[in-house]
Chains A and B, each alone.
Chain A
């Protein structure tokens, strides 16, 4: 698919019921305000992008949503109810996430990792798990079946018995997604799902996210790869220094000069060189229309500094 077709599409798109409604979320650590008064609404079948320079508060905001942090102010409504700030309750309600830095259970097999995701959806208590009554055995077999299906879904069916820590990097990211899906979420939060991936893996990740969306889930994606975000998301929300800069369709956000400034600031000569260089590497025909449509400096350029950073990290 090309960005070009998306330019006409968004208006026609309709989404399901509201899944997530965060309003006025503020998170302060002592004197530092990491997230300030952020509103975010996500609907069924919608892919929402969350962008912003490093340190903008994206991951902190995710942590507020998933109950790892208790927001200083504001509330998070999920499917119409306010969630207690407890990760376990949040998962049970139907919100799952992946992590910026992969956090699999390295000493467990891929299948077991996904089965851990089933934990909150099975009822067997401690005692029944020792006695192994028929109900427990049925549940266990069911967990195993669902876990295998999810591995197949993300394309890792053949690695079920491999230890998670031995999987290649891209597969580990997909395994995290499978594990998150195992909790039967209505909303999945993906924190930099393509970080460190090559172009082919990135494309696979994109296809996977579309397939997740097609199952009726709502998706929120944090990502620095702008081309990825603008070709994937229905709406994009940009955070800068903990505050909302703009929210809108990819086209609106893409063409907003403040977004570009937030990312690259006032470029000096060195940076421009880097940008130009990265740009030359990134050149891909199918994004041409979008680039052509933009006034210079194209948002394409906005991707580049983060790419440079990523190469540094790798």
Chain B
């Protein structure tokens, strides 16, 4: 039983990371019906943004007060990349056949990976991520549970981001604009809403969470690499579909469910099919099962619904 709770906690941690990234897929999909496959790279670049901030300004410091600066640095970089990407690569294709932006997304994804690999000093192999004493220090023992501090950081980040996002969508003018655009772009335009700006905001919003996820990932794994966005992005996309693509709370739920299933599968499926080599198989098997019985996803909705 202790093992169960331990794996539940590990699953929640992993799931929180997926959820933070998944929100970016779902928000953008809700607004422009585009699967932004380069979003995993936005997450990766956020991590490098945090690393660069630390290297340039705080090298050698491990005190907690640098963490907020690293988060700000991560968000600044990831949001910039996402907004530029939208402006340069997606906006010109807004009215193109749907395959065109999809292929573009894959192209951007490769472009960003290679750009980091080639131009970020030392990024050809994995780079150590700065260790912030307070969040990467010795794990805590809560009764039978071993709780890593970075896990609490990740889960806490998800909780705060989700609350802020809910507030933003449901209680602000801009959020109302996003809901309107997600439901009917032409009518929204006729209400005087700047649709291009709303689209950019959607990309920025997703990138903000992805940037935070990048920091969380770096703190948990101790190192980052230019390829880390690929699998994380794929899993987060799975989480978004699992929860119901277009639905923000669905992305959060989908991420957590996926994380927990992976953690449980590693621990409790016996024999040949158990253990960590099979965890991805079980994650995607879950996706297939859910899509067969509930194609719209767990909280499925066609638009960015009530967050």
Interface positions of A (Cβ within 8 A of B): 66, 68, 87-88, 90-92, 96-97, 99, 103, 105-108, 112, 115-117, 119-122, 124, 126, 129-130, 132, 136, 139-140, 143, 179, 183
Contacts and interface: CB of A to CB of B under 8 A. Distances in A.
Contacts of B192: 87-88, 91-92, 119-121, 183
A91 B173 CA distance: 18
B190 A91 contact: yes
B190 A97 contact: yes
Interface residues of B, number: 24
Nearest to A124: B173
B186 A68 contact: yes
Chain A interface main SS type: helix
A60 to B, nearest CB: 14
B283 to A, nearest CB: 30
Contacts of B179: 105, 107-108, 112
B174 interface: yes
Interface string B143-179: 0000000000000000000000000100011101101
Nearest to B184: A103
A120 B193 CA distance: 7
Contacts of B305: 107
Contacts of B184: 103, 105
A122 B191 contact: no
Contacts of B172: 129-130, 132
Contact of A120 (B191, B201, B303): B191
17 contacts: A68-B190, A90-B190, A99-B187, A105-B187, A107-B306, A108-B179, A108-B180, A108-B183, A112-B179, A116-B188, A119-B176, A120-B191, A120-B193, A121-B192, A126-B174, A129-B174, A130-B174
B74 to A, nearest CB: 18
Contacts of A126: 174, 197, 201
A94 B26 CA distance: 35
B222 interface: no
B191 A108 contact: no
B87 interface: no
Interface in B175-214: 176-177, 179-180, 183-184, 186-194, 197, 201
B182 to A, nearest CB: 9
A105 B180 contact: yes
Contact of A87 (B174, B183, B190): B190
Q: Which of B176, B188, B194 has the most CB of A within 10 A?
A: B176
Contacts of B191: 91, 116-117, 119-120, 179, 183
A116 B172 CA distance: 11
Which 8 residue pairs across A and B have the least CB separation, nearest first? A120-B192, A91-B192, A87-B189, A129-B172, A103-B187, A105-B183, A116-B180, A129-B174
Contacts of B176: 108, 112, 115-116, 119
Contacts of A129: 172-174
A173 B188 CA distance: 17
Contacts, number: 79
Contacts of B306: 107
Contacts of A68: 186, 190
A117 B184 CA distance: 13
B223 to A, nearest CB: 33
Nearest to B201: A126
Nearest to B302: A107
A68 B176 CA distance: 22
Given A126-B174, A126-B201, A129-B173, A116 B190 contact: no
Contact of A119 (B168, B193, B201): B193
Q: Which of B173, B184, B190, B305 has the most CB of A within 10 A?
A: B190
Given A107-B303, A107-B305, A130-B168, 11 more contacts: A87-B186, A99-B187, A116-B193, A117-B191, A119-B177, A119-B180, A121-B192, A122-B173, A126-B174, A129-B173, A143-B173
Contacts of A183: 191-192
A132 B190 CA distance: 26
Contacts of B188: 105, 116
A162 to B, nearest CB: 14
Nearest to A182: B191
A66 B183 contact: no
Contacts of A88: 189, 192-194
B192 to A, nearest CB: 2
A103 B176 CA distance: 16
A97 B193 CA distance: 14
A124 B291 CA distance: 41
A138 to B, nearest CB: 12
A112 B178 CA distance: 12
Contacts of A103: 184, 186-187
A66 B187 CA distance: 11
Nearest to A164: B183
A96 B172 CA distance: 23
A172 B190 CA distance: 17
Contacts of B186: 68, 87, 103
A114 B252 CA distance: 30
A66 B190 contact: yes
Contacts of A107: 179, 183, 303, 305-306
Nearest to A90: B190
A124 B189 CA distance: 18
A206 to B, nearest CB: 24
A262 to B, nearest CB: 30
